Amino acid sequence: MGHSGLPPARPLGRNDPVSEPHAFCRRGESPPADTVTTHQVHGSAVLYVAGTPPVPAAEQGDALITDQPGVAVGVRTADCQPLLLSARNGAVVAAVHAGWRGTVEGITTATVDVFRRRFGVQPEEIDALLGPSIRPCCYEVGPEVADQVRTRFPRFADRVIGTFRSGRPTLDVATLNRLQLEAAGVRSIHDQGGCTHCGTGYESYRRDGDAAGRMVAWIRCATTP
Ligand SMILES: [Zn+2]
């Protein structure tokens, strides 16, 4: 399918399964000017984007999904987990901002549900990409966070909770989202990796505080069915 006139896709790696234009921007990189974003609140609401500009200012949410040809949706992150989801034919795409709260609330599972219920896209027809985020090498969390993960995802806890050098817990948010995708039936999952805190070229709120910028993860719906 053709994308002439659209920004080029940024190659993510040889296992990258998504053909639609998309990127996990790094520090200083800008998304296409027409990328639709919204006010993110670390929740689990999935917003439907019906055009440009489609999201009323009053709407808040942490996942944007669209089936509108040529529309790009994006989320801003600086340590939180960005995910890009695409129906294999590119006709439905979504960008997800998954911080630990949204992850515990199941925002990724909720987004996969919207693909199926609203658009008839089955989980096995979805390609999922995970971008850079703060990884367990650096993501020390409070015991109350680990407790919430154990309560909400008892089967996954041992695989995503570790111990930091301080003795406090670590949380692997990327893996917790991947496990949610697998549990929902998504099979095509690619994790680009990258730790925003100790890697170079990323924005990290935990490292830089209020001085941290934000990176945009964006994906554009196919222009032709
Ligand atoms: Zn790290």
Q: What is the CATH number of the domain that holds 138?
A: 3.60.140.10
Q: How far is the CA of 9 from the centre of ligand 1 (A)?
A: 26
Q: How far is the CA of 195 from the centre of ligand 1 (A)?
A: 5
Q: How far is the CA of 199 from the centre of ligand 1 (A)?
A: 6
**Per the structure block, which two tokens stand in for 184?**
């929902």
Domain count, the chain: 1
Q: How far is the CA of 133 from the centre of ligand 1 (A)?
A: 9
Find the Cα–Cα–Cα–Cα dihedral 46, 47, 48, 50, rounded to 10°. Answer: -160
Domain hosting 55: range is: 22-220
Q: How far is the CA of 49 from the centre of ligand 1 (A)?
A: 33
Mean pLDDT (the chain, rounded): 89
What per-residue confidence (pLDDT) applies to 1? 31
What per-residue confidence (pLDDT) applies to 224? 75
What per-residue confidence (pLDDT) applies to 56? 60
Q: How far is the CA of 2 from the centre of ligand 1 (A)?
A: 38
**Residue 8 within any structural domain of the chain:** no
**Residue 67 within any structural domain of the chain:** yes
Q: How far is the CA of 138 from the centre of ligand 1 (A)?
A: 4
For residues 19-34, give the mean pLDDT: 91
What per-residue confidence (pLDDT) applies to 55? 62
**Residue 112 within any structural domain of the chain:** yes
**Residue 16 within any structural domain of the chain:** no
Interior CA angle at 150 toward 146 and 153, to 5°? 125
Check pLDDT > 90 for residue 198. yes
**Per the structure block, which two tokens stand in for 53?**
């500009």
**Residue 11 within any structural domain of the chain:** no
What per-residue confidence (pLDDT) applies to 57? 58
Distances (CA, A) of 168 to 34, 44, 64, 158: 42, 26, 34, 15
What per-residue confidence (pLDDT) applies to 225? 59
What per-residue confidence (pLDDT) applies to 12? 43
For residues 117-127, give the mean pLDDT: 96
**Residue 4 within any structural domain of the chain:** no
**Residue 2 within any structural domain of the chain:** no
Q: How far is the CA of 46 from the centre of ligand 1 (A)?
A: 29
pTM score, two decimals? Answer: 0.90
Distances (CA, A) of 61 to 35, 102, 152, 170, 204: 15, 10, 21, 26, 21
Q: How far is the CA of 139 from the centre of ligand 1 (A)?
A: 7
Residue 16 pLDDT class (50, 70, 90 cuts): low
What per-residue confidence (pLDDT) applies to 171? 98
Distances (CA, A) of 128 to 79, 93, 154, 169: 19, 10, 24, 27
For residues 154-177, give the mean pLDDT: 97
For residues 188-214, give the mean pLDDT: 93
**Residue 154 within any structural domain of the chain:** yes
Check pLDDT > 80 for residue 15. no
pLDDT digits (tens, 9 = 90+) for 45-94: 899 988 766 566 567 889 999 999 999 999 999 999 999 999 999 999 99
Burial per residue of 107-133, b for 16 or more beta-carbon CB atoms within 10 angstroms, e otherwise = bbbbbbebbeeebebebebbbbbbbbb
